[in-house]
C-alpha cells in the first residue's frame, strides 16, 4: 500500500540527527515502531509530508527544515521567575527542568541563565530552530479503521504509551 495523505496508519523505524551532525538525537531502531495516522498531526509536518507516496519496506533519508519540524526559536518563549521558586534545585545553565503547565501537562524548560534573585527559563522545544535529518523505514502501511479515524488512536492503544521515543514528533 502506498501512503496517502490521510487516514493511513503508518509504522516507521527511524533515526534522527541534527542536520550536518553525526549525533543521534532520537531513534527507535530495535524497538517498537512509531505508529500514527497520516493527516492527524501526530508527527512533525515535514516528516509526515515526506512519507506520503512511500510504500511498506521502503527506506529513505528525509531532511526536515526547522519550520516544518519544531519551528523556529521564539525569543518570546522565555520567562524570568524568582529564584526562590527553584528552591532545592542545584541550578546549572543549560539544564533541563520539567514542570507542570496550565493544563496539567508536563512542560520541559531549559535554564537559560540565573543570578542570586532570578532564573530565566526557555520554553522553546530543544530542537526548535534546527534542521533535522531522518533515516526512516516504512514497516507498515494500511487503511485506518473507522474507530481509528474517529479517535485518532492506532489499534486501541493509548497515544501516550511511551512508544514515541524522546522527541521524533509526538505532540
Position 156 scores a pLDDT of: 61
Q: Which three cell numbers stand for residue 102?
A: 496550565
Asked if residue 108 belongs to a domain, the reply is: yes
Number of independent structural domains in the chain: 2
Position 73 scores a pLDDT of: 94
CA 78 vs. chain centroid, Å, equals: 20
Average pLDDT over residues 24-36: 96
pLDDT digits (tens, 9 = 90+) for 81-134: 999 999 999 999 999 998 877 788 888 899 999 999 999 999 999 899 999 999
- Using alpha carbons, list the distances in angstroms from residue 130 to 36, 69, 120: 23, 8, 22
Looking at the chain, the whole-number percentage of residues with pLDDT higher than 90 is 78
Q: Is the pLDDT of residue 165 over 50?
A: no
Per-residue pLDDT band at 170 (split at 50, 70, 90): very low
Position 18 scores a pLDDT of: 96
Residues 133 and 111 in one domain: no
Measured from the Cβ of residue 95, the count of other Cβ atoms closer than 10 Å reads 11
Asked if residue 2 belongs to a domain, the reply is: no
Q: What are the residues facing 18 on neighbouring strands?
A: 132
Asked if residue 113 belongs to a domain, the reply is: yes
Contact, 57 vs 137, CB < 8 A?
yes
Residues 34 and 117 in one domain: no
Position 160 scores a pLDDT of: 41
Asked if residue 166 belongs to a domain, the reply is: no
Residues 104 and 140 in one domain: no
Kindly report the pTM of this predicted structure. Answer: 0.77
Q: For position 94, which CATH number holds?
A: 2.40.10.330
Asked if residue 171 belongs to a domain, the reply is: no
Q: Which domain holds residue 87?
A: 78-122
Residues 57 and 110 in one domain: no
Asked if residue 170 belongs to a domain, the reply is: no
Higher pLDDT: 133 or 161? It is: 133
Amino acid at each position: 500500500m502506498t501512503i496517502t495523505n490521510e487516514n493511513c496508519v503508518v509504522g516507521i523505524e527511524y533515526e534522527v540527527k541534527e542536520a550536518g551532525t553525526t549525533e543521534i538525537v532520537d531513534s527507535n531502531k530495535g524497538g517498537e515502531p512509531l505508529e500514527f495516522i497520516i493527516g492527524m498531526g501526530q508527527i512533525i509536518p515535514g516528516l509526515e509530508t515526506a512519507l506520503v507516496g512511500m510504500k511498506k519496506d521502503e527506506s529513505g533519508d528525509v531532511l526536515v527544515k526547522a519550520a516544518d519540524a519544531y519551528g523556529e526559536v521564539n525569543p518570546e518563549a522565555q520567562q524570568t521567575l524568582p529564584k526562590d521558586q527553584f528552591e532545592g534545585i542545584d541550578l546549572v545553565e543549560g539544564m533541563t527542568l520539567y514542570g507542570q503547565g496550565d493544563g496539567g501537562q508536563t512542560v520541559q524548560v531549559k535554564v537559560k541563565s540565573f543570578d542570586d534573585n532570578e532564573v530565566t527559563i526557555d520554553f522553546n522545544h530543544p530542537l526548535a530552530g534546527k534542521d533535522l535529518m531522518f533515516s526512516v523505514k516504512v514497516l507498515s502501511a494500511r487503511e485506518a479503521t473507522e474507530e481509528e479515524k474517529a479517535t485518532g488512536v492506532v489499534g486501541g492503544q493509548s497515544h501516550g504509551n511511551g512508544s514515541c521515543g524522546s522527541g521524533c514528533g509526538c505532540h
